[in-house]
Amino acid sequence: MGIEMGKTKIDSRGRVTLPGALREEMGLTPGKEVRVEKTGKGILINPVISKEEFLQSLEGCITEKNQAERLSPLELKDIWGPKLARD
């Protein structure tokens, strides 16, 4: 279960204002896209990150001690292609 960050209301146009502390912590600035998903127990809101932001977040993750399996470009395309096509 997540950490409750406050309560909010849905306005007459169906909009929800996220608490400021949560927006700041998650880096949600005006105009930032979010993905909204219906889950079994509620609604999940996730920031949409660009392909460049995603790749930058991986920088430094793979070291000599932590070698990832080597994949060919075609194998990577099979894995990531459908996901990237949706974005």
pLDDT digits (tens, 9 = 90+) for 20-54: 988 999 889 999 999 999 999 899 999 998 888 88
Same domain, 57 and 36: no
Instruction: Note whether 23 and 8 are within 8 A (CB).
Output: no
The tally of domains found in the chain comes to 2
- Give Cα 56 distance to the centre of its chain: 14
Same domain, 63 and 87: yes
| Structural domain for 41, as ranges | 1-48
Same domain, 18 and 4: yes
Same domain, 41 and 67: no
Same domain, 53 and 80: yes
Q: How far is CA 86 from CA 8, 19, 35, in A?
A: 30, 29, 12
The confidence score (pLDDT) of residue 32 equals 92
Q: Is the pLDDT confidence value at 9 over 80?
A: yes
Same domain, 62 and 72: yes
The confidence score (pLDDT) of residue 66 equals 64
The predicted model gives 70-76 an average pLDDT of: 85
Same domain, 29 and 59: no
In this prediction the pTM is 0.55
Look up tokens 């999940």; give the residue.
Answer: 44
